[in-house]
Structure 1
Amino acid sequence: MRLTWDAAARDGAARAGTLRTAHGDVPTPTFMPVGTAGTVKAMTADAVRATGAGIVLGNTYHLMLRPGAERVAALGGLHRFMDWPGPILTDSGGFQVMSLSKLREIDAGGVTFQSHLDGSRHRLTPARAMDIQHKLDATITMVLDECTPWPATEEQAGASLALSMRWAAEARVAFVARPGYGLFGIVQGGTYPHLRAQSVEALTAIGFDGYAVGGLAVGEGQALMFATLDVTVPLLPGDAPRYLMGVGTPDDLVGAVTRGIDMFDCVIPTRAGRTARAFVPEGTLNLRNARHAGADVPLQDGCPCPACTRHSRAYLHHLFRAGEMLGPMLLTWHNLTYYQALMRGMRDAILDGRFAGHAAALRAGWRRPDETDDP
């Protein structure tokens, strides 16, 4: 009765399946747009749905600070609050343990944060992280962990791993199980294969509904990220969903799906949309470039988003040059549409048994030099 993942096909290590939840089914591989504070930046909920997204991400730390989990609960939960009846995954705040290192104190029992908003102090423990996410009504709850920074010595990564595994066990006890809801454990261990193996062993012994790979895309580079996935993913249970946290570029997604990852989230497509960068099959376009000023052509042929069906590259260029907010809105919509199409294309290729060729064709199409380097 709890959240499950059903396999549909495998092609090499790549997998296609369906994530079945209390708030609906999600085909995988899937990309989750990031709605940290209960909104995907520059997008209405209807616009996010129109991109094809089936699940979004919220953040425990940020929603804890503002507006507060208790207030969201009193207003009917995060699904109603943000007009998203579909599945929501909430990150536990573990990334902020790393990214806000100057504003937190960590100990064996949890983390004390000094709010980046008003300086107030907030305590986050494994049990409190479960309570907040329960009040938010998160479909998928993430355990509290310490996202190991990079670089980290083997000793540092090992100490961080031990703390995260202790917290994972405490979170498992505190989690309130309900039909169609799930709790994911998070694999840590830096880039040390034996530590990653220890983490997987500890998490599978505790038992979770899904398993995330954390502590990557934090500066180690793509080659080392893929090498870490190569030794980690095969150890994960084959009947549970696999989630790579905070990743990434289109090339990252293809490489991780190749290695058996099912779920992703990243701010890259929305942040790029706010900074005039568009993802297209040929690579990345910078819409501020003068070459687009008179381009009376769509951003991408065949793309169903309004940036492509209703406007020209020239108009998008104008919006960014004029500082109009419609520019980031349209380009964010396009980028999320591109990401969803990328995931659907990979899923279809896995189902058809042609994933290797599909992945190679995608990479070949991205070989053109990035236009962001142009004057």
Structure 2
Amino acid sequence: MLKYLRMTGIAAISLATFTAFAEAKTKVTIGELDWPGSRAIEQVLKQVMETYLDADVGTIAAAQEALYEALDKGDGTVDIVADMWTDHLPQQMKNYVLPGGRQTIILNDTPYLGTEGIFVPTYVVEEHGVKALADLAKPEAAKLFDTDGNGKGELWAGAVGWESTNHTQVRGKTDGFDKTMEYTTVEQAVFLAQLKDAYENKKPIVFYYWTPEWIFAAYKLSKLEEPEFNGYTTEGAKGSERYNEKGCYTFYQPQERNDWLEASKISCGQPPTRVNIAHSKAFAERAPKVSQFLKQVKLDADVVNEWILAMEVEKKPVEEVAKAWIAANKATIEGEWLKGTQ
């Protein structure tokens, strides 16, 4: 009986210890976004927090606007948004991040940069000398991209309904290649098959795209050069650091005005978009070590490209992609991302 009591006592103590340990775990909820780059970042953060910071990490999917409102509320419904394209969210930045606003959302110290533009395979630059967007206005350059023999080149401007198709039309009007090029709007999957065929056979092709995306890990591509960006001019940009009434980027949506194409003028490149990891101020107060980790995470678009390639082309589960990368990059994670938290 004594032996039984002793064993029972040990079991009780062990159970109590386990329960206290379980309760001590920091509960974390990541707001899920539905593009591959975000899912990869979310999974890397999840595995690092679970392995090193004793966190219990869950996810919740919702529209972007709702996620940022939840971060602002700070009630634990959403603690982290892993892929916040801050330059695309001027109203949320003003309301929740910047001085003068509520300052309820905290960003990591070093964003990675997402880019947009018109690209060609690098062999087009090297073999044909087409290196600037304005080159497309030259008939001899445009002819390189003519696949149907009608005398005009084709430029994939994005799928039907994408905002990029409108930006490309404005660029064509401004730079003059609306006279020499036609804009195609086939679905993305169709375009990607066209790009694969062109690249494998070293045929000229020109197209709108963005980073991070897997094609930049799979192919050697070059962005066509444009004059340097010096500011957005429209009313919606007022109050942001990128507003300049004499700037080079004037763009109106079709729903903003009927003469949007005539009123718009884009005579420069689009600036890189800063992409941050965001977490709520309330969460930072509840879990200061996790907050410190999140602020110190530093990502690179080239790495995100590789993650997306593994997921989208090689069809690897995101959990495996994250696990393999973490195992190969312990020095960065432990020496930089987690510095001062252990």
Report the TM-score range of the alignment, normalised by the length of the smaller protein.
Answer: under 0.3
Q: Which has the larger radius of gyration?
A: 2
Larger RCO, structure (CA 8 Å, separation 6 or more)? 2
What is the TM-score when the length of structure 2 is the normalising length? Answer: 0.24
